[in-house]
Amino acid sequence: MSRKNKGPETPEGYTGYVEISSIGAPPAPQVNLLPPEVKVRQAMGGIRLRALLIVVLVMAVTGVVTIASLLGLADAEAEVAEKEARVQALQTEMAQYSEVPRIKAEVEAARTARDFATSGELPWARYLRAIQAVAPEDWTLTELSVTLPRPMEDPQTSANPVAAPSVATISFSGRALTLPDVAAWLEGMENIPGLSDPFFSTATITEEDGTVFYETMATVEITLDALADRFGAEEEGES
C-alpha cells in the first residue's frame, strides 16, 4: 500500500494572516505616507470646528441674555406706564378739589375775624341781674359804666392797686334810703363768678325833692371767666 505525503494541515478557522503581536512578537512597523500639509489641514479643521462650536455657544448665551433683558425691559416699561397712568388719574382727581384749599382758607379767615370781633363779648344782662340780686333791698341802680378795651387794645389797669388782673372794670352808682351794709354787699359781689375785687368807694347823703338818700359808688373787676366765648364753646363741642 502506497502512502502519499501530506503537507501540514491548516488549522480550522485560519484565514492566512497571523497577528504576531498576539504571540509576543513586536507589531509590524507602519509607515504614514501622508504629506505634512494634510496633517496641518486636519489639525486646522479641528481648530475651526472647536472655534465654531465656541462661537455658536457664545451666540446662544448672548441671545438668551438679550431675550431676558428685553423681557425685563418690557416689564419695567409696563410698570412705568401703569404708574404714570395712576399719577395722571390722581392729578385729574385732585383737580376736582382744587377749590377746597381756597375755601378752607376763607372759612378760617372768617372764623379768625369772628373770634377777634367777639373776643371781648360779655353777657351783660346776666351780670346786671347778679349785681342787683346781691345789692341791699332798698338800693336802686342809677348809673353803670364799663371800661372795656377794644380787641386791638391792651386791657385797662384797674384803679384798685390790689386788684387781680382783669379784662374790664364795671363802675356803678345807686341810691339807698338807708346806709347799705357795705361788707355784705362786697361779699355778695365777690361770690359772683367772673367778678372779682369789688370796691366800695363812696357813700354820700343827698337830698332831692325833699327825699334824703345815700348815693353810693362802687367798682368791680371782670375776669377772663366772665367772657362769653360763645364760638369757642361751640368749637369744643364739635371736636
Nine cell digits for residue 152: 386791638
Distances (CA, A) of 134 to 130, 173, 186: 7, 14, 9
Q: Is the pTM of this model over 0.75?
A: no
pLDDT tens, position by position, 85-124: 888 888 887 777 778 888 888 888 888 887 777 766 777 8
Check whether 218 has a pLDDT greater than 60: yes
Range in 109-118, 174-183, 191-200 the model is least confident about: 109-118
Nine cell digits for residue 227: 367772657
Range in 39-48, 101-110, 137-146 the model is least confident about: 39-48
Give the model's confidence band at 17: pLDDT under 50 very low, under 70 low, under 90 confident, else very high: low
CA-CA-CA-CA dihedral for 103, 104, 109, 113, to nearest 10:
100
What pLDDT does residue 178 have?
A: 86
Helices (H), the chain: 36-96, 100-117, 124-134, 182-190, 230-238
Check whether 1 has a pLDDT greater than 50: no
Helical packing angle, 100-117 and 230-238, nearest 10°: 140
How many residues does the structure list for the chain?
A: 239
Nine cell digits for residue 72: 425685563
What pLDDT does residue 232 have?
A: 65
Task: Give dist(CA 178, CA 139) in Å, integer.
Answer: 8
Check whether 77 has a pLDDT greater than 70: yes
Q: To which H or E segment does residue 203 belong?
A: strand 195-208
Question: What is the pLDDT averaged over residues 36-52?
Answer: 67
For residues 142 and 91, the model is more confident at: 142
Query: Rounded mean pLDDT of the chain?
Result: 75
What pLDDT does residue 230 have?
A: 72
